[in-house]
Structures are given as C-alpha cells and as structure tokens.
Structure 1
C-alpha cells in the first residue's frame, strides 16, 4: 500500500519534497520547534531558506522529525501527514544505493547496507 498525504500518493521526489517542505514550514512556524531544530542542526535562521532548496537538506528535515515522537504526533494531528508517509518520503529522497562492485568472476560482491528506521511506530 502506498502512503498518501493530502489524498495523493507519494510517488516521486516532487511529492517527497512537498512533504518535507510542509514539515519544515510546520517546524519554522513555532518558536520552540525552530529553536530546537536550529540547536540540533547548528544552522542559522538566515540559512534555512537557502538550504530548503536542497534535497539533502529536506531529507535531513524528515530524518530529524522521525527521531522525535512528540513532533511526529503533532505533524500527524495538525498536518494529517502520517509517520508512514514521512518514511515513504525519506525513501524517495534517499540517494540511490551505489552499484555493487563486481568480483573478478564478474559477479556482484556482497555489500551490506543498513537503513536506520525510527525507534518505534507510535500509530498502530
């Protein structure tokens, strides 16, 4: 099942970036939230607008909110963006995995990749 936000399926980078921008706007709209965000990220208020044009920054915003259960819950309640939709957006914004190197026989070598998921799902 694909996750949706505002009735649309998160089908690509554009949808994922839209989710991230809405989440960023939600953080910026509240003084306590933006102060916490700036403290954690070491960004300056004047750099946020410029940074928001970067997919890597938007990915970081979504990863930031997945680490804060109360913030996830507030986003779910106020923006109606479910935590699963945020995870789907993270997947869309994550860089493609690197190509597996070939061994001398021309076969793929095993490469272990680990994707970190949120601690737990609050909304069952």
Structure 2
C-alpha cells in the first residue's frame, strides 16, 4: 500500500521532508515535547533552525518519533500522520546503502604513489 500525507503520495525525498517538517513543528508547538526532544537529542533551541535544513536532521526527527510509541500515537491522532507514513518517510530520507558501499570501497584502498624503478 502506498502511504499518503495530506492527500499526496509519499513518492520521494521532498514528500518525506514535508512529513518530517510537519512532525518537527508538532514537537516544537508543545513545551513538554520540545523539552523532551532537546534533552534526548542534546540540541539547543538555537541550533534547531539551522539543523532543520539538513536531510540527516529531518531523518533523525522521524526516527525519534518512530521510537516513541506515545509520540507516534499523538502524531497519528493530532496530525493525522499515520505511523506507516512516518516509516515510509524514513526510508526516503535514509542514505542509499549502495552509495555507502561504493564510498567505503574507494576509501578502503587508497592508491599508493607509483614510482618508476627504471629511471
């Protein structure tokens, strides 16, 4: 089944980012939720705005919600964001495992400088 958010199919990264931003706004709107979020993540209030522009931060917000059953239920009830939509968004924001493997292969075997022994 294809997950939707606000009537749109979560088809890619931009849709997943929209879900994450809505969830972040939901967290920030409640004092108890934002205090708990800051305590768990170690972030400061002044760093959230700058961090919110990165894909990794938005992925972290969704993973934070996915690990908290009460918060997951609250986003479902109050935002009408189904837990499956959050999970689908996590998949879209997660780095591609193939890209990670390709990067590691390049980093794992650095090229040594070549010397011509016949000079």
| TMscore range, shorter length | 0.7 to 0.9
Q: CA deviation at 1:54?
A: 0.3
- Structure 1: 4+ residue segments shifted above 2 A: 98-101
Matched pairs, number? 101
- The residue that corresponds to 1:82 in the other structure is 82
1:28-107 equivalent positions in 2, closer than 5 A? 28-98=28-98
Q: CA deviation at 1:55?
A: 0.3
- TM-score, length-scaled by structure 1: 0.79
1:11-22 equivalent positions in 2, closer than 5 A? 11-22=11-22
- TM-score, length-scaled by structure 2: 0.82
Root-mean-square deviation (Å): 1.1
SS at match of 2:11: coil
Q: Structure 1 or 2: larger helix share?
A: 2
SS at match of 1:2: coil
CA deviation profile, 1:15-51 (whole Å, cap 9, x unmatched): 0000000000000000000000000000000000000
SS at match of 1:23: helix
- The structure whose Rg is larger is 2
Point out where structure 1 has 5 or more consecutive residues left out of the alignment: 102-124
